[in-house]
Structure 1
Amino acid sequence: MAFSPGEVGAYRIVSAAAVLLPLSLPRIAKLNRKQIGNLAVVGLVGSFLPAFLFAKAQTQLSSSITGVLNALTPLFVVVIGALFFKAKITVRNGLGLLIAFIGVIILISVKEGSSSITSLSSINAYALLVILATICYGINLNIIKHWFNALKPVEITAISLLLALPVALGYLLLQTDFTHKLIHEDGALMAAGYLTILGVLGTAVSLILFNGLVKIASPVFASSVTYLIPIVAIGWGVWDGEVLLPGHFMGMIAVITGVWIGNRKKKKQVIAAPSSSA
C-alpha cells in the first residue's frame, strides 16, 4: 500500500474540499460566526473523523464486515436524536438496538482461524473504529437536520469540507511524508489518482446528494441507505476472495435484522368510513 491510513483519510478530505472551493469560498463570507462554528463541527465530525476511522479499520477488517457495521448508522441517528435532540425511542427502536448490539458483539468476537466466538478480551478493536464512525454519522445527521434549515445541501457540504481542509492539509503536510511518497515511490501517483476519484465522487458529490436527502426527509430515513452498503460490501468481499466465518454471517444477520426492526415504522391502520344508507 502506497499510503498510510492517515494519509488516505486526509487526502480524501483535501481532494473533496479542493474540488468544491469554487462553491465554498463565495458562500462562506455570507455566514455568521455561529453558522461557521456549526459547519466546522459538521466537517470534522461528519467527514474528517470518519475518513480516518474507516481508513484505519480497513487495514484489519474485511470490507464485508465493515459494510455491515456501517449499517448501524440509522440506529445511532435514533439514539443521538433521543439524547440531544428530544426525539423519542420506541419499544421497536429498543428491540432493534438490542438485536443489532448482539450482532456487533458476535462480529467483533469472531477470530480468524476459529469457527467459534472468542472471549471479549480478544475482540477486534478495529471494528470499534467503524462503530465510532457510525456514531459520528449519527451526530452529524441530527445536526444537519436541526441546525441548518436555512442552508442548502451544497452550502452545507462545500463549506463544512472547506473548514475541515486546514486540519486535513496540515496533517498531510506536517505529520506525514505524503509528498515524498508521491514523488519517489512507484505507484504513488496512480494511488493518489484513485484517492482523488474517491474524494470527489465518494465524498464531495455523495455528500451533496446525501445532505439533500437529509434536508427533505428525516435523518433516520436518509441514513437508511446504509441498508444497501452491506449487500454491496459483501458482494465485493466475496468477489475479492475475502474469508468469512460462520460467526461472521451470524453477526451480519443479527445486525441487519436489528437495524431493520429498529427503523421499521408501524403500519397505520386505515379505518373505512361507514357507508350511508339510502
Structure 2
Amino acid sequence: MKLYSALIGLSFIWGLSFVFIKWLLDPIGVWGTVFFRCFAGALVLLPFLWIKRKELKGPLPWKALFFVGVFNAGLPWGLIAWSETEIHSSTAAVMNALTPICTGLVGFMFFSILLKRRQWVGIVLGFVGILVLMDFNIFDLFSESFIGIGTMILATISYGVASQYTKKHLQETSILLVTTCSLLVAALFGLAGMVLTNSVSVINEDVLSRPLVWLSIIGLGCFGSGFAHLLFYYMVKNGSAEFATSVTYIIPVTAMVWGYVLLDEPITKNIVLGLVIIFAGVYLATRKPRRSIQQAAA
C-alpha cells in the first residue's frame, strides 16, 4: 500500500511540475525557471548527500557528472520551459512520455544497442502519436512553430542521451550523488542562460515578493526536483526499478488534470488519442520478453 501511495504521490508531484513551469515563465523567464528549480532541488538533497558522504569512495567522475547535469537537467528543462511558452502544460507532459522511446533510439544510434522489431514498432508508434498531437501538420516542425512540439522532442532526446551515458559511465556511482551534482551543474547552466539572454534583471524585488512565484519555486524545485527523487529512490529500493519507472505512464494523466483544473487548459481529442498512441509505443519499446522476466524472478 505504501508503494502505491508513493507512486500516486510522485505522479501528482511531477504532473504538477508542468503547471509550476507555466506559472514561472512570465515572471522569471525560461532560464530563471531552470536556475531556481535546480538550485532549490539541490538545497534539499545536499544535506542527505552530506550524511552519506562517508559512503562515497574513490575520485569523483567530474566530467561525467557535468555532462549528465547538462543533458539530464539543464538543457532539457530549459527546452521544456521554452516549449511551454507556445504549448499547453498538458501537451508538454504528454510529449515528455516519449522519453523511453527516444532513449532506445539514442542507444541504437550512438551506443551500439541493438533494437528488436517490436521496439522499432514502438518508436514508430511514438512518432505517430506526435503527429496526432500536431494534427498531422508536420511542416510546423520546420517553421517558426518548431518551438513547442519540436523543442519537446529535443528535450526527450536530451534525456535519452543522458540516460544512456549514465548507464555506460556512472553505473557504479551513487544515484544521490549523480542527482545532486546534476542539479548543481544545471543551476549553473540556468544562471549562464540568464546572463547570456540578459534576463537577470528580471529577477527583482517585485517578482520575488509574489507568493505564486515562491509557491512554484518550492513546488518545482524542492518537491519536484528534490523530494520527488527521494520518493523515486524509495520505490526503486522497496519495489523495483520497473515499478518506479511506471510513473511515466501516470504523469501525463495527472498533468492533464492539473492543467484543466488550475490553468483551464482544454483536454482535446487529439491530446487523448496522441497520449494513448504514445503509451502503446512506450509499452512496445520498453516491454521485456516474458522469458527474461521469468529468468530474472528465478
User: TM over 0.5, yes or no?
Assistant: yes
Counterparts of 1:269 and 1:148, CA distance in 2: 25
Counterparts of 2:126 and 2:154, CA distance in 1: 15
Q: Residues 98-127 of structure 1, C-alpha deviation per residue, up to 9 Å, x if partnerless?
A: 11111112212x3xxxxxx4x433354211
Query: CA 1:224/1:184 → structure 2, altered by over 3 Å: closer, same or farther?
Result: same
**Does 2:288 match 1:268?**
no
Q: TM-score, normalising length from structure 2?
A: 0.73
What is the CA distance between 1:247 and its match in structure 2? 3.2
What is the CA distance between 1:260 and its match in structure 2? 1.8
Of 190, 194, 204, the residue aligned with 2:226 is 204
Give the CA RMSD over aligned residues.
3.5
Deviates more, 1:60-69 or 1:261-270: 261-270
Deviates more, 1:207-216 or 1:96-105: 207-216
Give matches, 1:38-57, under 5 Å.
Answer: 38-57=64-83
**Aligned equivalent of 2:45:** 20
* Code of the aligned partner of 1:148: L
What is the CA distance between 1:73 and its match in structure 2? 1.0
* Code of the aligned partner of 1:168: G
**Does 2:217 match 1:192?**
no
Counterparts of 2:211 and 2:183, CA distance in 1: 23
Taking every aligned residue pair, what percent have the same amino acid on both sides? 27
Counterparts of 2:108 and 2:82, CA distance in 1: 29
Counterparts of 1:222 and 1:138, CA distance in 2: 18
**Does 2:109 match 1:83?**
yes
Question: Which structure shows the higher helix fraction?
Answer: 2
**Aligned equivalent of 2:170:** 148
Q: Which structure would you say has the larger Rg? A: 1
Q: How many residues align structurally?
A: 262
**Does 2:92 match 1:69?**
no
Give matches, 1:127-142, under 5 Å.
Answer: 127-142=149-164
Question: Contact 2:69–2:185 (CA<8 Å) still a contact in 1?
Answer: yes
Of 125, 128, 133, the residue aligned with 1:107 is 133
**Does 2:138 match 1:120?**
yes
What is the CA distance between 1:153 and its match in structure 2? 1.3
* Code of the aligned partner of 1:225: V
* Code of the aligned partner of 2:139: S
Q: Residues 236-255 of structure 1, C-alpha deviation per residue, up to 9 Å, x if partnerless?
A: 23334322443333322221
Counterparts of 2:215 and 2:293, CA distance in 1: 54
Of 12, 28, 32, the residue aligned with 1:7 is 32
Q: Which runs of 5+ in 1 are unaligned?
A: 111-116, 272-278
* Code of the aligned partner of 1:161: L
Query: CA 1:38/1:209 → structure 2, altered by over 3 Å: closer, same or farther?
Result: farther
Query: CA 1:164/1:69 → structure 2, altered by over 3 Å: closer, same or farther?
Result: closer
Question: Contact 1:145–1:215 (CA<8 Å) still a contact in 2?
Answer: no
Question: Contact 2:128–2:277 (CA<8 Å) still a contact in 1?
Answer: yes
Give matches, 1:166-245, under 5 Å.
Answer: 166-172=188-194, 175-178=197-200, 181-185=203-207, 188=210, 190-210=212-232, 223-239=245-261, 240-245=263-268
Q: TM-score, normalising length from structure 1?
A: 0.78
Q: State the 4+ residue runs in structure 1 displaced beyond 6 angstroms.
A: 211-221
